[in-house]
Amino acid sequence: MKVAKFGGSSLASAEQVQKVVDIIKEDTQRRFVVVSAPGKRNNADKKVTDLLLAVCAARCANEPIEALLAEIYGRYEAIAAPFKIAADHLASIHTSLQQFVTLPYENNPHFYDTVLASGEDNNAKLIAGILQSAGLPARYMNPRELGMTVTDEPQNARILHASYEKINAWHDSQAILVIPGFFGYTEAGDICTFSRGGSDISGAIVAAGLQVDLYENFTDVDGIFSAHPGYVHRPESIKEVTYREMRELSYAGFTVLHDEALMPSYHAKIPVVIKNTNNPSHPGTLITNHRDNLEQPVIGVASDEGFCMIYIRKYLMNREVGFTLRVLEIFRDLDLNYEHMPSGIDDISIIMRSNQLTAELEETLLRKIAYEIDPDELRITHDLSMVVVVGEGMRQRVGITADSTAALARKNINLEMINQGSSEVSIMFGIHKEQEKAAVRTLYYTFFD
Ligand code: ASP
């Protein structure tokens, strides 16, 4: 049994929806379908969720919303046009949109959530109707009826654990259930959405609740590439990757799936496959708990910019009890998050995201370290990128670090920092951002043909 989640680009037009119908028809194991709101049809287009955000903003500014509502309704109407669906599906979408003209927004913490969630909710109703017209036993399933109960955190909800058991009760449903992604209901009965892109989370929750064999996440790419296609010409797409590798890759800039989306399926040990609606025969990328084929030691090279590094050196630092603790307390007191902290005998480097620092905060931080730690050397390096070489197979293979650093040296790329976590799933290099692209490229060609 499978859960199939379709993203916005897979549902943006009638042509795309036809592909989705064919995909569902082709495999009777696809019994639970989770849908996003209609996405962009082309680069210049707007996602329905973004139009709904505009509705919220207009209402809060006491501006008219009729034109926006007409535009949104038009999107559903255009998708429905070639399909022979019962007229009441569109009528119900129209009614649901019209209520936003009067829905109170003052003293209503769930105003945005209610409006935004309608993008997926209306789409689920429509897709269920279209599947029925194609002769499939489909049924729209509201998240409340399904048992999707979430925390009361507007636009940032989290699933409540009890939901999984409730969802599991639908395990033997005979109908193909079409479930809107992106939102659930609080215990008090209010709509709360997950963070943006959250339909991926809904799909993973439904998959975990039902304990299905596979969670298929349909998008518009042939899976995950081994490197950024903007950096490397036609990189290979990854066939199989573990959750751990995926986590390392997405941390360093690979964002095919919503970050949190993997949590529920990871805990439930359910494999996820990322597939292309426009090329469904391509096997895509399979994300699993365990990977047997470790022949290829490196699975991907990822990178992200926007880091800075604070270097602290103090003679005999290693003999001072609580030294690191005192440094980190300064970070905590200033509410600063750090990402990595490689250390030597007498020095440590603290790497953090630069967007946390204003010039003022930076000065305070350095002043506090200077005053409280009294280091022999203290400096900050800006404009760093982190380049990460990822692969579970590295553990069994000697020389990956040597091959990487040799390749970087050949390109004259200076390493500000190397960090190989004890997990040995990844090696991270801190380099100047100007050299990020060249570094990814040379590392990719070192480990891939
Ligand atoms: N439609 C929502 C968004 O654009 C959720 C999703 O598509 O996953 O963020």
Mutate to test the pocket of ligand 1, among 10, 40, 120 (most ligand atoms within 8 A of CB): 120
Distance 253 CA to ligand 1 centre (A): 19
CB of 36 within 6 A of ligand 1: the answer is: yes
User: Do 74 and 201 belong to one domain?
Assistant: yes
| CA separation for the pair 7, 197 (Å, rounded) | 9
pLDDT of residue 253: 67
Give the max Cα distance, the chain.
78
CB of 119 within 6 A of ligand 1: the answer is: yes
> How many CA within 13 A on the CB side of residue 41?
10
Q: What is the 3-state secondary structure (H, E, C) of the chain?
A: CEEEEECHHHHCCHHHHHHHHHHHHHCCCEEEEEECCCCCCCCCCCCHHHHHHHHHHHHHCCCCCHHHHHHHHHHHHHHHCCCCCCHHHHHHHHHHHHHHHCCCCCCCCCHHHHHHHHHHHHHHHHHHHHHHHCCCCEEECCHHHHCCEECCCCCCCCECCHHHHHHHCCCCCCCEEEEECCEEECCCCCEEECCCCCHHHHHHHHHHHHCCCEEEEEECCCCCECCCCCCCCCCCECCEEEHHHHHHHHHCCCCCCCHHHHHHHHHCCCCEEEEECCCCCCCCEEEECCCCCCCCCCCEEEEEEEEEEEEEECCCHHHCCCHHHHHHHHHHHCCCCCCECCECCCEEEEEEEHHHCCHHHHHHHHHHHHHHHCCCEEEEEEEEEEEEEECHHHHHCCCHHHHHHHHHHHCCCCCCEEEECCCCCEEEEEEEHHHHHHHHHHHHHHHCC
Distance 198 CA to ligand 1 centre (A): 6
CB of 122 within 6 A of ligand 1: the answer is: no
Classify residue 323: in a domain, yes or no.
yes
CB of 199 within 6 A of ligand 1: the answer is: yes
For residue 417, give the CATH number of its domain: 3.30.2130.10
Which protein residue has the closest C-alpha to ligand 1 atom 5? 197
User: Do 208 and 334 belong to one domain?
Assistant: no
User: Do 84 and 187 belong to one domain?
Assistant: yes
Classify residue 140: in a domain, yes or no.
yes
Which protein residue has the closest C-alpha to ligand 1 atom 3? 197
Residues at the binding site are 5-8, 49, 120, 219-220
Residues at the binding site for ATP are 5-8, 219-220
Distance 181 CA to ligand 1 centre (A): 8
How many domains are there within the chain?
2
Classify residue 268: in a domain, yes or no.
no
Classify residue 250: in a domain, yes or no.
no
CB of 8 within 6 A of ligand 1: the answer is: yes
Q: In ligand 1, which atom is closest to the CA atom of 202?
A: 8
Distance 368 CA to ligand 1 centre (A): 42
User: Do 216 and 308 belong to one domain?
Assistant: no
CB of 180 within 6 A of ligand 1: the answer is: no
User: Do 54 and 164 belong to one domain?
Assistant: yes
Residues at the binding site for substrate are 49, 120
pLDDT of residue 212: 96
Q: Among residues 220, 251, 278, which one ends one of the domains?
A: 220
Distance 204 CA to ligand 1 centre (A): 14
CB of 37 within 6 A of ligand 1: the answer is: yes
Q: Among residues 185, 220, 255, which one ends one of the domains?
A: 220
User: Do 307 and 215 belong to one domain?
Assistant: no
Q: Among residues 194, 220, 246, which one ends one of the domains?
A: 220
Classify residue 311: in a domain, yes or no.
yes
User: Do 194 and 330 belong to one domain?
Assistant: no
User: Do 216 and 315 belong to one domain?
Assistant: no
Which stretches in the chain have pLDDT values below 70? Answer: 253, 255-256, 259, 422
Classify residue 360: in a domain, yes or no.
yes
Per the structure, the complete domain to which residue 177 belongs is given by 2-220
pLDDT of residue 321: 86
For residue 13, give the CATH number of its domain: 3.40.1160.10
pLDDT of residue 317: 84
Classify residue 273: in a domain, yes or no.
no
Q: In ligand 1, which atom is closest to the CA atom of 200?
A: 8
